[in-house]
């Protein structure tokens, strides 16, 4: 009997090593990883430059408190500001923590405007984490059930519905911010309609709200640009990051711009481990490799290719509703629950995920090459066709 707390429904496999897009289990069987640790391993497994950077930093300095200046943290904040157009960064350990920081920032911003009960507009089908504030913000009843009472201060509207947001503006004078994933991941790989993000930006400007984008999953090259909002040519006030930032090392960030960048003061927020030298070395190397190996371009190219090939293989089958996504964030929606596809794929040496019960989610490493992408498509298409015949 395991002494690990039973909080995950684990698949029957234990991995022993990884290289690029491949993982090997303890018996030596090889698996093509089309999930990348749920969008974490953007550089694939054990990228030589990342291993070297982590090893070198671990032999020099692993951790100092945020009571002192941290050189690598300063470098990382500067690089992220350069890439995003944001002004400053708060570092933490995960996406949930990054979103907690954003929620606290928005509430403090509201109190600064003499709003006693600040409210944040959030979206249905969203996922922002599993801490109390972030699971309350999430539009997924499954993650909330059993943890009531939930927090107050959130107004929920459908994703991709600007009119619903406008109606909240009319009826709720306590709104201070919108928190939205530009591309929803856990909610089923949902893509924003044309001008949706621009519309949200306009409503925020009209009402004096902060536009806060959760790019924990879709950021750091996953969409084919450094940040997913860059597809819509807008500038947010707050952006949260995590998964792909450290390529396996735990690090999250809450970036802010303009007025939002000046909300937090010393003592307002903190993270013991956040932005330590080891995690920041991993993040700086991740950004460096993405640029050197032109992985943004590769994510666009391979993503377009995989969606096109999947459509060629699967479109027209009666129970395939839609194949969608952006960059290497791909969803295949079926008309019925299909969670067993994960085990079917595992048996054939392919790692995938099913989210929202009916959506096969692919999040392969940004380093995936054409032959590997072809193998993902051919293996998965065969499994899906076989499944639909049952």
| pLDDT for res 179 | 98
Question: What tokens does 170 get?
Answer: 């009319």
Name the strand (E) or helix (H) holding 261. Answer: none
The residue assigned the tokens 């201060």 is 153
**Of 296, 346, 305, 347, residue with least CA distance to 325:** 305
Q: In this structure, what token pair is assigned to residue 369?
A: 């090459």
Residue-level pLDDT at 236? 98
Q: What is the pLDDT of residue 374?
A: 98
Whole-angstrom Cα distance, residue 115 to residue 138?
23
| Spatial separation of the C-alpha atoms in residues 302 and 9, rounded to whole Å | 30
Separation of alpha carbons 32 and 24, rounded Å: 9
Q: How far apart are CA 280 and CA 74, in angstroms?
A: 9
Could you tell me which of 54, 42, 52 has the C-alpha nearest to residue 293?
Answer: 42
Would you say 98 and 253 are in contact if contact means Cβ atoms under 8 Å apart? yes
State the pLDDT at residue 390.
81
Among 214, 225, 227, 229, the active-site one is: 214
> Helix or strand or coil: residue 120?
strand
Alpha-carbon distances, residue 57 vs 46, 118, 211 (angstroms):
16, 42, 36
Q: Which of the following is catalytic: 33, 72, 91, 127?
A: 127
Mean pLDDT by 10 residues, the chain (390 residues): 93 98 98 98 98 98 97 98 98 98 98 97 98 97 95 98 96 97 97 97 98 98 98 97 98 98 97 98 98 98 98 94 98 97 98 97 98 98 94
In contact, 256 and 94? CB cutoff 8 Å = no
**Which one from 225, 243, 257, 358 is the annotated catalytic residue?**
243
**pLDDT value at position 211?**
98
Q: Say whether 127 is catalytic.
A: yes
Please tell me the distance from the alpha carbon of residue 185 to that of residue 194, in angstroms, as a whole number.
18
**Bridge partners, residue 322, by sequence:** 333
- Is residue 116 flagged as an active site residue? no
Distance, in Å, from the CA atom of 339 to the CA atom of 353, rounded to the nearest integer, reads 8
243 is catalytic: yes
- Residue 99, classed as helix, strand or coil, is helix
Among 179, 189, 184, 200, which residue's Cα sits nearest to residue 136?
179
What pLDDT shows up at residue 93?
A: 98
């Amino acid at each position: 009997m395991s002494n690990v707390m039973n909080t995950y429904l684990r698949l029957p496999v234990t991995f022993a090593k990884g290289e690029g897009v491949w993982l090997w289990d303890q018996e030596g069987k090889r698996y093509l990883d089309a999930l990348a640790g749920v969008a974490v391993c953007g550089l694939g497994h054990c990228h030589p430059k990342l291993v070297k950077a982590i090893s070198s930093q671990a032999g020099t300095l692993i951790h100092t408190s945020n009571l002192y200046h941290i050189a690598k943290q300063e470098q990382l904040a500067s690089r992220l500001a350069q890439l995003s157009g944001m002004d400053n960064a708060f570092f933490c350990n995960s996406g949930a923590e990054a979103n907690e920081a954003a929620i606290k920032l928005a509430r403090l911003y509201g109190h600064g405007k003499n709003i006693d009960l600040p409210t944040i507009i959030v979206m249905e089908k969203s996922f922002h984490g599993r801490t109390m504030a972030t699971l309350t913000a999430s539009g997924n009843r499954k993650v909330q059930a059993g943890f009531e009472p939930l927090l107050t201060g959130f107004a929920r509207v459908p994703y991709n519905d600007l009119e619903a947001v406008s109606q909240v503006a009319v009826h709720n004078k306590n709104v201070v911010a919108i928190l939205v994933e530009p591309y929803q991941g856990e909610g089923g790989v949902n893509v924003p309609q044309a001008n949706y993000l621009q519309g949200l930006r306009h409503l925020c400007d009209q009402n004096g709200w902060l536009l806060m984008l959760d790019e924990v999953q879709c950021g750091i090259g996953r969409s084919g640009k450094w940040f997913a909002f860059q597809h819509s040519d807008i500038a947010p006030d707050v952006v949260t990051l995590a998964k792909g930032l450290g390529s396996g090392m735990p690090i999250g960030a809450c970036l802010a711009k303009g007025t939002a960048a000046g909300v937090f003061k010393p003592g307002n927020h903190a993270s013991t481990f956040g932005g330590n030298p080891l995690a920041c070395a991993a993040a700086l190397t991740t950004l460096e490799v993405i640029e050197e190996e032109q992985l943004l371009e590769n994510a666009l190219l391979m993503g377009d290719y995989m969606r096109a090939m999947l459509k060629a293989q699967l479109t027209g089958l009666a129970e395939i509703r839609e194949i969608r996504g952006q960059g290497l964030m791909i969803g295949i929606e079926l008309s019925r629950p299909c969670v067993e596809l994960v085990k079917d794929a595992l048996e054939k040496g392919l790692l995938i995920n099913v989210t929202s019960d009916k959506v096969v989610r692919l999040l392969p490493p940004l380093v995936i090459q054409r032959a590997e992408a072809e193998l993902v498509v051919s293996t998965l298409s065969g499994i899906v066709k076989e499944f639909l015949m049952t």
